[in-house]
């Protein structure tokens, strides 16, 4: 079953066109099927997959299976380590 997004946001009247970056326009109260190409464009635009973007969004329901395999995020660049030098006081040695 292809991926689809159902939108029901009570703050807007039913039928209001809602623009979602990288996804297009979805009418409030409706459901759209998301193609693999759209999934890919959404990831390129937002840096996150459609499923991850909406997984906790109340009123926005994702169903179906993704066709697009989002690449794993790159691990963060490690900061150079700074060695700490213990203070030495006269008489410690």
Partner 1 sequence: MPAGIGGGGWLALTFETTMGTYLPPTTAGTLWIPILNEDLRYREDKYFSPQIRQQTIVSDVEQAPYHVEGDIRLEVDAQFLPHLMYCSRHIIVKDAVTYVGDSLIAYKFTPGQQGSASTHASGATTRTASITIVRNGIGFGYAGVTFGGYVFTIENGVLVVTLNAFGLSEEDPAGLGSPSWVDSQLFGASAHSVYVAAAGASPTFAGADVNFEGFTFTNTFNAAAQNRLTPSRAATYISYGETDGTYSSNLDFVDKTEYTSMKNATRRAIRLESLRGPATWATATSGVRIDINNSVYTDYPVNLGAMGDLIMAQSTGRAIGVAGGDAYSISVKSAVDIT
Joined together, the tokens standing for residue 57 give: 């969004």
Tell me: does residue 73 bind partner 1 (CB under 8 A): no
3-state secondary structure of 87: coil
Binding mask 52-71 for partner 1 (x = CB under 8 A): -xx-xxxxx-----------
Shorter beta-carbon distance to partner 1: residue 19 or 91: 19
H/E element, 52: helix 50-54
Task: Decide: 33 and 4 in contact? Cβ < 8 Å.
Answer: yes
3-state secondary structure of 47: coil
Shorter beta-carbon distance to partner 1: residue 64 or 83: 64
Residues that bind partner 1 (CB under 8 A): 7, 9-13, 16-21, 26, 46, 53-54, 56-60
């Amino acid at each position: 079953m292809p991926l689809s997004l159902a939108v029901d946001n009570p703050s807007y009247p039913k039928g209001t066109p809602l623009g979602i970056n990288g996804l297009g326009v979805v009418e409030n109260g409706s459901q759209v099927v998301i193609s693999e190409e759209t999934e890919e464009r959404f990831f390129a635009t937002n840096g996150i997959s459609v499923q991850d973007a909406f997984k906790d969004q109340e009123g926005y329901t994702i169903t179906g299976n993704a066709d697009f395999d989002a690449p794993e995020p790159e691990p963060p660049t490690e900061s150079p380590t700074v060695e700490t030098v213990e203070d030495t006081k006269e008489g410690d040695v």
